[in-house]
Structure 1
Amino acid sequence: MDLNEIKAKYMSGEIKSRDLESVIFTEVYGSDASKVRDACNDAAIIRCEEVEKFSGVSLDLIKKTRIDNCTLVDGKRILTGIEGKIGGAIIPMGVAGPIQINGQYVKGKVYIPLATNEAALIAGVQRGIKAINMAGGLNTLVHFDGMTRAPLIEAPNITEAREFCNRIQTDKEFINELGKLSKDPFVRLEKIDPYQLGTKVFLRMIFKTGDAMGMNGVTKASADITRYILSKMPGWKLITISSNFCTDKKSAHINVLTGRGKSVQTEVFIPKEVLSAVFKKGVTPLSVEKTVFHKCYLGSCLSGTISGFNVNAANAIAAFFAATGQDLAQVITSASCFVQADATEDGLHFMVSLPCMELATIGGGTMFGTAREALNMIGCGGFGKSVDDNVNVLRLAEIAAAAVTALDLNTACAQAAGYEMADSHVKLARGEEN
């Protein structure tokens, strides 16, 4: 079959969408491994043309945007990256910096790539960086590194549930035995925290995952461990392999308290003269402290915020994630953020805590296209040879935290200056002068 015949059969329903890439790869390109990306692009165009016909709308820009995110497994099976692909979405990318970072894994200056459609965001990060650099740079550290999954199992009665929780907490040999069930060398069980509600037992499993974010790996390992546990305990049963106690892609205080992904701390001391030189009139250590307390804590508490005790951390996280190929659904957890601004006689002590940033330098969207180039640009394009060799993702975490710190410092100071935040957004987004 040629492409026109395949297209006709796809349009008629004879060829399913899930099989389109494989059919083109086999029939048109003779399973030539060097042509797998062409086969995937042809499939995307055919799907897009079918949608155009159905909707009556031209999708020319989407159709012409080629993103090669497919791979060939064992020389014959195609992993398409996503299902039903019709092209690509484009987001403008800019850079802020370079910023001086004095961290565990970043020691020096680095540019920060940010992909966003929001005017004023990168300008805000840039002004925050200016103040940080004039103050001598940003101190950063990573103090937790682990990915979690939490299966939920059910005991026959509350006594057996309690006994099993006690065993998980005290029997180190049993935990070592369970850890050996993970066959992936880049997924290592570190510990299991059990939580009991009646006959239900939540097993929050914590794994080390190298430079990968690790959700696929820890899900498989958790499933293997849970199968083994239940095979040894008659009368017990699985309720779900993921109980929302992990907690993945939801704002949750368990992640804040115990960590998930990477936990990062940053700080910078901004002298009074730097505040005056960089920010508008009225910005003083005391005015910034007052703004941060009343906005980030009093306002957040009154609104019922779980972990959003910050100025606008999600803006920086989302733009950084989009630029570097991270899982965008994890912005909600990764943007859990606590900002502190303490006024002193000499200036402002500004601190940011990000307890659960989920990041990767290998896997998913990090492996191709502009994201791979952005990671290479900031020195995070590699990945280690073992589960403990993961300096690339730890470096990435410090850079992401630097972006958040710069933006929140700038926006806190802009709000401490009265109406500046509103005026600057109108000017940069709409071209209007107030």
Structure 2
Amino acid sequence: MPKLNSLRHDAPLDLHPALTNEQFSAALDPKLTPTTSLPLSAALNHKQVQKRWQQIDIRHARDHLLDPQTAQNMARYEKNIEHFIGTVKVPVGIAGPLRINGLHANGDYAIPLATTEAALVASYHRGCRLITAAGGVSAMLLNEGITRTPVFSFYNLAEAGQFVAWITTQYDQFKSIAQSTTQHGRLHDINVSIEGNHVYLVFEYTTGDASGQNMVTIATNAVFEFILAHAPVSPQQAFLDGNLSGDKKANSHVLRSVRGKKVTAEVHLPATLVKKYLHTTPKNMVEFGHMTTLGATLSGGIGVNAHYANALAALYIACGQDAACVAESAVGITRMEVNAQGGLYACVTLPNIMVGTVGGGTGLPSQKACLDILGLAGKGKARALAEVVAGLCLAGELSIVGAFSAGHFSRAHHKLAR
């Protein structure tokens, strides 16, 4: 009997052809032959764009990426891209309306989603219709904050302790320095973490209506330089970020704290609506949730959810957010219960929603258009956008759990993706 987890010697997958040792080495060895270099300048202007396409020299690719509208709007992308050659068109669908009853978002929202995955928009649209039929989702922004985490190393723990003793007297000075770099960011706390002779400082900011990652990097760098110039104990090594912030990485710390905007959202669904829209029962959906929660635990997952990443990626791309932040934003918890009336109670909590309505890609032509469809472009709208995102994720959780519970998941993909 073969051992579990052993490699199969009869596996049909052939990862590489039969090669001699010399051929194998030749295939993997570095190649130092000259290559054709693209223009060195990263500037965005017609002259540099033409130079890049002369080097690429693939006419049909140019026609698709540098279409007339993109060429006309070229200057709009200057602060968002280097070595520009054009734009990629991603299909955009609309889901909803989704009714949000939030502290900041209130109303019915048509939600643009950019994706190439068939069945995705249809699934979110179904979840939105179900929630709206029940009166909408209740959503509450719980907390917000962005972190940057400089790290310093010392010869020994005694030096690290002296450094921390000085750091604790400098909060007002650090806050003043940080504020001098930004009109909208606010440094509101600094936490200290000591690991042997290493000291991590966790700078926590609010960033207004911007997602704020560049903002907090610039502010923290100003404080970082002050520390290096004035600390009574000079560190042996120091780096602007020590990887404690969770930037673009899933991490468990934020389940109890926040990075970005932390939102929870809930809905009570009568059993009749569950049957009408999802073709299953609250009991089946709750049992599915119990078994898949155990599955998430066995797989070492951080949090428990079905597919937050689908909603987040599609909305982030459509609305000019930093799509790489899906890595951290997709951490959270989905929970379902049978309520006292025999209906379904469902809630989501997402502690890492990284969204803004100003700055970044939010002002680009297509992305601004999508925010306009939501009615959430510009100042004063970021908190509302975060509550809409949480409601959208809840809609997606209901739809996909319903599909699995009713045995329709594969059928939907066969119908829409073939």
Q: TM-score range by the shorter chain?
A: 0.7 to 0.9
In the alignment, is the contact (CA less than 8 A) between 1:48 and 1:63 conserved in 2?
no
1:226-245 → structure 2 map (5 Å cutoff) = 226-233=224-231, 234-245=233-244
User: Which among 174, 177, 185 is matched to residue 173 of structure 2?
Assistant: 177
1:115-126 → structure 2 map (5 Å cutoff) = 115-126=114-125
User: Which among 390, 397, 404 is matched to residue 401 of structure 1?
Assistant: 390
Find out whether 1:371 has 2:367 as its counterpart.
yes
1:85-104 → structure 2 map (5 Å cutoff) = 85-104=84-103
Question: Identity of counterpart residues, as a percentage?
Answer: 31
Identify the residue that residue 19 of structure 2 maps to in structure 1: none
Q: How far off is 1:365 after superposition?
A: 1.1
Q: How far off is 1:195 after superposition?
A: 0.8
Q: Say how many residue pairs are matched.
A: 378
Runs of 4+ in 1 over 3 A off after TM superposition: 56-59, 67-71, 162-168
Distance 1:107 1:157, change over 3 A: same
Return 5+ residue gaps in structure 2 as ranges: 1-35
Identify the residue that residue 48 of structure 2 maps to in structure 1: 43
CA distance in 2, matches of 1:350, 1:212: 30
Identify the residue that residue 352 of structure 1 maps to in structure 2: 348
Identify the residue that residue 33 of structure 1 maps to in structure 2: none
Q: How far off is 1:134 after superposition?
A: 1.6
Identify the residue that residue 282 of structure 2 maps to in structure 1: 285
One-letter code aligned to 2:404? Q
Distance 1:80 1:43, change over 3 A: farther
One-letter code aligned to 1:322? I
Identify the residue that residue 28 of structure 1 maps to in structure 2: none
In the alignment, is the contact (CA less than 8 A) between 1:360 and 1:393 conserved in 2?
yes
In the alignment, is the contact (CA less than 8 A) between 2:266 and 2:345 conserved in 1?
yes
One-letter code aligned to 1:424? A
CA distance in 1, matches of 2:337, 2:318: 32
CA distance in 2, matches of 1:80, 1:133: 39
In the alignment, is the contact (CA less than 8 A) between 2:42 and 2:83 conserved in 1?
no
Distance 1:415 1:41, change over 3 A: farther
In the alignment, is the contact (CA less than 8 A) between 1:69 and 1:80 conserved in 2?
no
1:153-302 → structure 2 map (5 Å cutoff) = 153-165=152-164, 168=167, 171=169, 174-182=170-178, 183=180, 184-233=182-231, 234-280=233-279, 283-295=280-292, 297-302=293-298
Q: How far off is 1:57 after superposition?
A: 7.0
One-letter code aligned to 2:301? T
Query: SS of the counterpart of 2:125?
Result: helix
In the alignment, is the contact (CA less than 8 A) between 2:190 and 2:201 conserved in 1?
yes
Find out whether 1:382 has 2:378 as its counterpart.
yes
Coordinate RMSD, CA, aligned = 2.2
Return 5+ residue gaps in structure 1 as ranges: 1-11, 22-39, 72-77, 384-390
Q: TM-score, normalised by structure 2?
A: 0.85
Deviations 1:373-398 (A, max 9, x none): 11122121112xxxxxxx31101111
Distance 1:285 1:143, change over 3 A: same
Query: SS of the counterpart of 1:131?
Result: helix
Q: How far off is 1:19 after superposition?
A: 5.8
One-letter code aligned to 1:425? H
Identify the residue that residue 399 of structure 2 maps to in structure 1: 410
Distance 1:238 1:376, change over 3 A: farther
CA distance in 1, matches of 2:340, 2:321: 41
User: Which among 58, 61, 64 is matched to residue 61 of structure 1?
Assistant: 64
Find out whether 1:18 has 2:41 as its counterpart.
yes
Q: TM-score, normalised by structure 1?
A: 0.82
CA distance in 1, matches of 2:330, 2:149: 21
